[in-house]
Structure 1
Amino acid sequence: MNGVLAKAFPIDTSNRYGRADRSAVGRWFWEIDRVLLVLVAVLIAIGLVAVAAASPAAAQRYSGGNVTFAPLYYFYRQLVWLALSIPVMIVISMMPRERLRQWCLLGCAGCIGLMLLVPVIGPEVNGAKRWIGFGFAQVQPSEFLKPFFIVTVAWILSLKEKDKKLPVMILSGGLAGLVAVLLMIQPDFGSTIIFGTVWIVMIALAGANVRVLGLMGVAGLVGIVLAYFFYDVAQVRIDGFLFGEGDNFQVENAMRTLTAGGLLGMGPGGGTRKFHLPEPHTDYIFSVIGEEFGLIACMAIAVIYCAIVVRVLVKLLDEDEPFAVLAAAGLACQFGLQALINMAVNVQLAPSKGMTLPFISYGGSSMLALSIGMGLLLAFTRTNPYLKRSPYVVKWSEGR
């Protein structure tokens, strides 16, 4: 029987990365979502070009106008961070789901522990304590917590499949509440919104009833109102956004920079307004892209982010493991929401918020954390190509 099947469905064992290659790299090559991987690679390439364009403006601003300061300083540093981050993303994408789940649980606990230390030992920057210094670099624990938190919540919610009596909504809500409190202490209102929104999306996918989701929506609105009255930074930014009060220089200047290049832009290095942006290489790099490469390039970037999220959701239609569905959907939601908020700030559709554009903005902690998250997303959307073939071929190939 095996001989007949071998003749009917030949497998090329001479091809190093053919479907018969059962090595770790061979399995990864055929199981990974290559379309998703290409889209991420395109974003990384765009990010390098954008950081190179924004680097002279950032170098001039942060060197105090020192003309001898290397104009591509941030570009070179971004290359170093990518050299560290890309291998991390690939290695994580090759790991089995069960091991990733275990590591994410440990990572979530570790990041929460670091966040407890941030208000005590963290340096204060612009009135906020969000980082912990390790001598050679500063780390923002909340950035690394994002992917670990999502996978942990996915695991908690998936436990209901094993025991219907487990209060998974309460347990996951308690974790989300703890994270929200730690973020507001820093304070970091924008990240609190991201964590809260992702949690609500995940409990909705896990089967929360409409009443619970309605209560969560009301609680979210109440939280924003309370933040407005008791959180000075939120009040200033909301007033500036809604009523034009206070200092709106950042968002107004970002919008002017974004539209200065028209549809096709002024060309690489041709932008001038970028030298007046406060954070041209991080928060407002989308505006730099608009000035130098045009609004068409900005729209193309928005389409790529949308394509990544849609691609993940389409892949999940064939997934039957609740944990993988919840984890991948949560990671895609967080990724898309972060990109949406950054772009919305640049076009004056949202209050100013220090949030990077995924894989495009300069940043060490952000780039490494995003690579971890994307590695997890690639791992949870991996599919076994043998499952799409005849069950007899699957059995035969596995027994070889």
Structure 2
Amino acid sequence: MKTDWKRELRIWWREVDRWLLFFVALLMLVGTLAVAAASPASANRLSTAETQLPDLYFFWAHIRMQVLGLCVLIGTSLMPLKLLRRGAIALGCAMLFAMVLVPFVGTEINGARRWLNVGMSLQPSEFLKPAFAIMLAWILSWKLRDDKLPVIGVSGALVGLIVVLLMAQPNLGGAILFVGTWFVMVMLAGLPLQRIGMLTAAGVAGMIAAYLFYDNARHRIDAFLGGPTAFDHVDLASRTLNSGGWTGSGFWLGDNKMRLPEAHTDYIFSVIGEEFGLIVCGIVVLLYLAIVLRVLIRMVEEDRLFIILAASGLTAMFGGQAFINILVNLQLFPSKGMTLPLISYGGSSTLAICFTVGLLLAVTRRNPYLAREPFDWKGSIEKEGDT
């Protein structure tokens, strides 16, 4: 049967959360301007005597990836829920297998082995993030079918495996993000307060163990607690962020960014502060908050547990990554090597973030003519079987 794409697009436009789409578009626009501002600094640092990169090298590469990312975002948000769930689970399994290969055949960059060379640089953990949220929502929603199913144990084993694979890279920031997302989702799934306390204690114990036995974690935590030294990455990022004042030095007029490593990726928020000012930085933070709050508002009248958990997990992943990156730039969190979603330059990471947003738009789609009631545990059992 031939698909009527015009009809599908009309239905999509009627059901999609246009405010959420608007906030995402604004962040991508800010990202385009920010990468244009940061591109000369990174191109200059990465140029060699044999290869001289043009000033806008990363800007044009970012534009190409954004166009491809938009196609992924829109295409994902158009897909039916059942197909998305199955596809995300298959993707998650594939990325877990790829992460097993990373320590053996992965590409090492700046002391970390996180990438596979598959014609382009692929970071499996980035694509695992959205797939993990969907997989975990699916597992936790089993609780509606049978309260005796060990959903917490199964989900805990999954996140434990992921943490082990991430620590082998090493990628402590990614491990923290996965554990945090898991914690948010199991709480929403109705985990008893006693178990929440036990998990919190286990998390604290895990951080202490990481500090004692994991060199990468200990060095980052020591550097954070001891304060930045002159000209280290975090100190340079903070000084770059503050150098523009409230209104910024002006587009392409920043000087501090030229000494800043990873200006187009990890520390792009500092470049925004220098060239566009702290006011624009505040607007960026408000846009991320608006996305998180918009999803929460959208979930108030949702009546299916899988949808509530999936939307919450995707939002926790997206918002958690954004605020960790911003806190690192503000010297309020140890350096994590984590990009700023929808703003930082990226190859496969840009596609992964767009896939995440596409999933978020898909699970928050609503028929405006259908009234919904707050979530009902018993009544959702039948609905879970249909999705």
Q: Which category describes the TM-score, using the shorter chain as reference length?
A: over 0.9
Aligned-partner residue type, residue 275 of structure 1: M
Shift of 1:159: 1.1
Q: Aligned ranges for residues 267-306 of structure 1 at < 5 Å?
A: 267-306=250-289
Q: Specify the alignment match of 2:105 in structure 1.
A: 121
Shift of 1:386: 2.1
The structure-2 alpha-carbon separation of the partners of 1:290 and 1:246, relative to structure 1 and needing over 3 Å to count, comes to closer
Distance 1:212 1:44 in 2: 40
Q: Specify the alignment match of 1:100 in structure 2.
A: 84
SS at match of 2:349: helix
Aligned-partner residue type, residue 189 of structure 1: L
**Are the equivalent residues in 2 in contact too, given 1:264–1:295 (CA < 8 A)?**
yes
SS at match of 1:332: helix
Q: Specify the alignment match of 1:55 in structure 2.
A: 39
For residue 334 of structure 2, the aligned residue among 342, 351, 354 is 351
Distance 1:55 1:299 in 2: 22
Q: Specify the alignment match of 1:8 in structure 2.
A: none
Distance 1:88 1:244 in 2: 41
Shift of 1:247: 7.4
Shift of 1:317: 0.4
Is 1:37 paired with 2:37? no
**Are the equivalent residues in 2 in contact too, given 1:32–1:379 (CA < 8 A)?**
yes
Q: Cα deviations across residues 258-306 of structure 1 (Å, max 9, x unaligned)?
A: 0101000011011010000011000000000000000000000000000
- RMSD (CA atoms): 1.6
For structure 2, the 5+ residue unaligned runs are 373-387
Shift of 1:64: 3.4
Shift of 1:148: 0.2
Q: Aligned ranges for residues 130-149 of structure 1 at < 5 Å?
A: 130-134=114-118, 136-149=119-132
Q: Specify the alignment match of 1:89 in structure 2.
A: 73
SS at match of 1:163: coil
Q: Specify the alignment match of 1:231 in structure 2.
A: 214
**Are the equivalent residues in 2 in contact too, given 1:155–1:323 (CA < 8 A)?**
yes
The structure-2 alpha-carbon separation of the partners of 1:226 and 1:321, relative to structure 1 and needing over 3 Å to count, comes to same
**Are the equivalent residues in 1 in contact too, given 2:228–2:234 (CA < 8 A)?**
no
Distance 1:387 1:312 in 2: 18
Distance 1:216 1:359 in 2: 32
For residue 218 of structure 1, the aligned residue among 201, 207, 226 is 201
Distance 2:330 2:287 in 1: 18
Distance 2:290 2:50 in 1: 41
Distance 1:336 1:250 in 2: 23
The structure-2 alpha-carbon separation of the partners of 1:174 and 1:67, relative to structure 1 and needing over 3 Å to count, comes to closer
SS at match of 2:112: coil
The structure-2 alpha-carbon separation of the partners of 1:245 and 1:73, relative to structure 1 and needing over 3 Å to count, comes to closer
Distance 1:154 1:88 in 2: 22
Is 1:110 paired with 2:94? yes
Is 1:175 paired with 2:150? no
Count of residue pairs the alignment pairs up:
368
Q: Specify the alignment match of 1:16 in structure 2.
A: none
Shift of 1:75: 0.3
For residue 339 of structure 1, the aligned residue among 299, 322, 332 is 322
For residue 26 of structure 1, the aligned residue among 5, 10, 23 is 10
Q: Specify the alignment match of 2:377 in structure 1.
A: none
For residue 175 of structure 2, the aligned residue among 173, 192, 201 is 192
TM-score by length of 1: 0.89
Aligned-partner residue type, residue 243 of structure 2: A
Q: Specify the alignment match of 1:326 in structure 2.
A: 309
Aligned-partner residue type, residue 68 of structure 2: L
Distance 1:97 1:240 in 2: 45
Q: Specify the alignment match of 1:7 in structure 2.
A: none
The structure-2 alpha-carbon separation of the partners of 1:297 and 1:246, relative to structure 1 and needing over 3 Å to count, comes to closer
**Structure ID, larger Rg:** 1
Shift of 1:69: 2.6
Distance 1:171 1:268 in 2: 50
The structure-2 alpha-carbon separation of the partners of 1:163 and 1:339, relative to structure 1 and needing over 3 Å to count, comes to same
**Are the equivalent residues in 2 in contact too, given 1:60–1:67 (CA < 8 A)?**
no
Distance 1:336 1:282 in 2: 17
Q: Specify the alignment match of 1:15 in structure 2.
A: none
Distance 1:185 1:295 in 2: 37
Distance 2:50 2:18 in 1: 44
TM-score by length of 2: 0.92
Distance 2:355 2:306 in 1: 18
Distance 1:373 1:245 in 2: 33
Shift of 1:226: 1.1
Q: Aligned ranges for residues 309-320 of structure 1 at < 5 Å?
A: 309-320=292-303
**Are the equivalent residues in 1 in contact too, given 2:99–2:165 (CA < 8 A)?**
yes
Q: Specify the alignment match of 2:139 in structure 1.
A: 156
Identity of aligned residues (%): 50
Aligned-partner residue type, residue 91 of structure 1: G
Aligned-partner residue type, residue 205 of structure 2: V
Distance 1:227 1:97 in 2: 38
Q: Cα deviations across residues 21-43 of structure 1 (Å, max 9, x unaligned)?
A: 99211110000000000000000
Distance 1:119 1:46 in 2: 35
Distance 1:68 1:162 in 2: 60
